[in-house]
Amino acid sequence: MKYTDMTTEELKALETSLFEKYEDAKAAGLKLDMSRGKPAPNQLSISRGLLDVVNSKSDLHAEDGTDCSNYGNLTGIPECRRLLAQMVGTTPEHVYVFGASSLNIMYDQVARSFLHGVCGSIPWCRLDEVKWLCPVPGYDRHFGVTESFGVKMINIPMHEDGPDMDLVQKYVENDPAVKGIWCVPKYSNPQGFTYSEETVRRFAALKPAAEDFRIYWDNAYAVHHLYGDHKPDTLPDIISECEKAGHPDMVYEFFSTSKISFPGAGVSGIASSLANLQDIKKYMSVQIIGHDKLNQLRHARFFKDGAGIEEQMKKHAEFIRPKFDALLSVLDKELSGTGTGSWTHPNGGYFVSFDSAEKGCAKEIVRLCAEAGVKLTGAGATYPYHNDPDDTNIRLAPTFPTVAELTKAAEIFTVCVKLVSARKILEERA
């Protein structure tokens, strides 16, 4: 029965029984973590072979003859550029390989734009205002980057097929202060949504008011399917879509193997037009002599090609899928029909996005969960400035705990959702 359809007496009785349940859970003194998108330890074991493919007996030369154990090569060894290109569906000449962190590439790209401009434009540090579009809910670390540069972030609602493109278009095509937009186009963080073909085409067709506007296309979950063979989401290649639309320089695409091989010890890369890559190289050649080519070699030799990565992702899915299933089955069982909230059912990625039906509940749900030993991503984290205007959104990250832990954590979460929702409705009636 929907809570809002209950009588006040029914709701009060429910609140009492929920509070008892909550107190019982709290008394159990659990310590569970559903806060960050981290692979579980047993997931990491499938990448251990990576540590053996480059050893003291190995030939350390890349296929173009580069000695990966010495200086040289700024843009990535050929086999690793090819590997990452295959992973995201572009061609190697569009790809530079960097170090382990794609967040670092994005940060540096924003920093470079502030310091030196974009392909000859005015450095953004000399502008009065820089604005950025932020599909919400979104990835907290993206918003953290632009916040650290004093950028004015503008919320854009996310739908199942991507950001509200009418709004995106209005801003991008009319306001020259809008210099960028954060996108997680596939299995989005936190919803698990994948942009539709039409959304991607509308992105590629944008006619920005600012010549130095760029789409920051963080394809972090390009191959992170949960249901492997039978229902992977698909996403058109943004690089070629932008080329076809006559705007080849409008996009930077980012990716890494952090949730494919080892988080923080994988390889990352950027894909973009040749003009953009030249612009990046100009500054990067001053910043660094070259990235870790031995780790590039490790990845190229371990995965071999895009198909090798897809195989690896099927193994990851075996670990992750039962966790999503467990979380979603608790949510479905405990919350369906209560009208207390809604949540996503992703086909991939690392997160489930939950929204309470009543406004002003998320912070209180997260607080109660924490007191009962269940750590969630901070409420508000999915919005710029940590400010969720309705205070409804919570990001659930089911990958790190075991299925048993997760089931327990999900149960406590649903108790808290129901308790806070019942109280909120009662409060509003009072």
User: Shortest distance, CB of residue 293 to its own copies, whole angstroms?
Assistant: 6
Beta-bridge partners for 269: 97, 255
User: Which pair of tokens denotes residue 396?
Assistant: 């659930």
Select from 67, 311, 332, 427 the one that contacts its own copies (CB under 8 A). Answer: 67
Phi, psi angles (nearest 5°) of residue 319 = -80, -40
User: Shortest distance, CB of residue 392 to its own copies, whole angstroms?
Assistant: 26
Residue 72 interacting with its own copies (CB under 8 A): yes
* Range in contact with its own copies (rule: CB under 8 A) among 78-86, 141-149, 190-198, 319-327: 141-149
* Range in contact with its own copies (rule: CB under 8 A) among 84-92, 260-268, 336-344, 345-353: 260-268
* Range in contact with its own copies (rule: CB under 8 A) among 89-97, 179-187, 244-252, 281-289: 281-289
Rounded-to-integer distance, Cα 234 and Cα 198, Å: 12
Residue 121 interacting with its own copies (CB under 8 A): no
Residue 291 interacting with its own copies (CB under 8 A): yes
* Range in contact with its own copies (rule: CB under 8 A) among 13-21, 25-33, 64-72, 78-86: 64-72
Report the residue number, 72 or 246, with the smaller CB distance to its own copies. 72
Concatenate the DSSP letters of all residues of 80-138 into one string: HHHHHHHHHTS-GGGEEE-SS-HHHHHHHHHHHHHHH-STTPPPGGGSS--EEEEEES-
Phi, psi angles (nearest 5°) of residue 241 = -60, -45
User: Which pair of tokens denotes residue 227?
Assistant: 């249901």
Residue 115 interacting with its own copies (CB under 8 A): yes
Give burial (CB, 10 Å; 0-12/13-18/19+) of 275.
Answer: exposed
Rounded-to-integer distance, Cα 220 and Cα 185, Å: 9
Rounded-to-integer distance, Cα 251 and Cα 238, Å: 8
Select from 56, 65, 229, 404 the one that contacts its own copies (CB under 8 A). Answer: 56
Residue 39 interacting with its own copies (CB under 8 A): yes
* Range in contact with its own copies (rule: CB under 8 A) among 7-15, 55-63, 269-277, 346-354: 55-63
The single residue listed with the structure tokens 């632009």 is 146
| Site map (CB under 8 A) of its own copies, residues 145-184, x = contact | x--xx-----------------------------------
Decide: 356 and 417 in contact? Cβ < 8 Å: yes
Rounded-to-integer distance, Cα 270 and Cα 256, Å: 9
Residue 122 interacting with its own copies (CB under 8 A): no
- Considering only residues 339 through 398, tell me which ones interact with its own copies, judged by CB under 8 A: none
According to DSSP, the β-strands at 352-356 and 393-396 are antiparallel
Rounded-to-integer distance, Cα 183 and Cα 218, Å: 6
User: Shortest distance, CB of residue 143 to its own copies, whole angstroms?
Assistant: 10
Report the residue number, 17 or 69, with the smaller CB distance to its own copies. 69
User: Shortest distance, CB of residue 49 to its own copies, whole angstroms?
Assistant: 6
Select from 2, 49, 160, 337 the one that contacts its own copies (CB under 8 A). Answer: 49
Rounded-to-integer distance, Cα 2 and Cα 335, Å: 10
Binding site for its own copies (CB under 8 A): 36, 38-39, 41, 44, 47-52, 54-56, 58, 67-72, 99-101, 103-104, 107-108, 111, 114-116, 123, 125-126, 141, 144-145, 148-149, 258, 262-265, 283, 286-295
